[in-house]
Amino acid sequence: MSDLVHAAKAIREGRLVAFPTETVYGLGANALDVKAIRKIFEAKGRPLNDPLIVHVCPDWLAEAGNGAATPHPYLEALHRQGIIGVLTEVQQARLTRLITQFWPGPLTLVLPRGERIPLLVTSGGNTVAIRMPQHPLALALIAASGLPIAAPSANRFGHVSPTTAQHVRDDLGERVDVILDGGPTSIGVESTVLNALPDVPIILRHGGVTKEQIEHVLAMPVLDGKPQRESDAAPLPSPGLLERHYAPDAALHILPNFAALLTQWRELTAAGQPVGLLLTRSQASATPDIASAQHYILGETLDDIARNLYAGLRALDSAGAGYILMCALPRLGLGAAIMDRLQRGAVRAN
């Protein structure tokens, strides 16, 4: 039996499957099965007020609809299958533009919850986060199982997200029934979560689709949501909203520039502290003594940095760093998602 057939069978039987997407690895279960969904929360140690993303594929959505431009056939199919609820004409038109441009891809859309989606998926809320991933193995798993798959990142809750199958094994081990290995993920940070239902859409989590891209497609400005404290037990409207998240075991410090990073590195090193540096390629070659530091080279472009960020954090943790230092990036394009992850990862636990 092939790995994919085995994994699809596991989903249908209510078991957990870790699988690659273009963003990070997900920990998936049948989104219509309450018992299976509860296993996700238990395996991760995830609080029940933090909702899940439901992953769908084009194979069982594309044939729906009458071919009209609005609403998009995917929206019609999701509604007919009880995965999403009723949308207004304005919402349908807006979502159609987004789906046409960004699905499959790293954009999660917050939509009205359909009657077949258990409240456990949405943490009791009346909206559900839906995404169509771009990774061929993720799409093949959804198609082969014949089910929508609820999946957060496949790591222990609050920790650095996994971008390889080994990261999943390191964090969750035997708590996962099947792990599909699709190699390193291509984007490296989670999907953008967008609530396009209000009059002014809100980005609840920055990710692989940028704010600038969304504003261009919608021809209107969008707002930024605000992080929420973990101590707030109220249901969250979306995953990825907690103030502390994506955190390495080491203390993560974000410095305003390279000179400040070098100063703090030297001070901590002189005090006998184990320090790891996350550097661009040009930073790594900028100063002679930097070669003596424990460091991880992320690349040079924002795409490189996003793709390698979580692997770098995990590598420095494994090397025994007590502190991890990195320079801040401009909050433009993918830099907004990278800085979001870094700032949440730098919040220390109480």
Contact 132, 104 (CB under 8 A): yes
Residues contacting residue 299 through CB under 8 Å, at least 6 positions apart: 280, 281, 305, 307, 308
pLDDT score, position 337:
97
- Termini Cα distance of the chain: 47
In whole angstroms, what is the distance from residue 210 CA to residue 53 CA?
19
Q: Report the pLDDT value the prediction gives residue 66, as an integer from 0 to 100.
A: 47
- Predicted local distance difference test score (pLDDT) of residue 233: 61
- H helix runs in 103-195, sequence order: 136-145, 165-172
Largest CA distance in the chain: 69
Q: Which long-range contacts (CB under 8 A, 24 or more apart) does 4-7 make?
A: 4/137, 4/140, 4/141, 4/144, 4/180, 5/144, 6/178, 7/141, 7/144, 7/145, 7/178, 7/180
Domains of the chain in start order, with CATH, are 3-224 (3.90.870.10), 251-346 (3.40.50.11030)
| Cα gap 48→152, rounded to integer Å | 12
Please tell me the predicted confidence (pLDDT) of residue 67: 46
Contact residues for 231 (Cβ-Cβ < 8 A; gap 6+): none
Plot region of 326 (φ>0 → left; ψ -120 to 50 → alpha; else → beta): beta
Q: Are strands 149-150 and 53-55 parallel, antiparallel or unpaired?
A: antiparallel
**Could you report the per-residue pLDDT of 92-118, keeping only the tens digit for each?**
999 999 999 999 999 999 999 999 999
Q: What is the predicted pLDDT for the residue at 30?
A: 98
Positions of the chain with pLDDT under 70: 1, 62-70, 227-234, 349-350
Gap between the Cα atoms of 12 and 333, Å rounded: 38
pLDDT computed for residue 22 by the predictor: 98
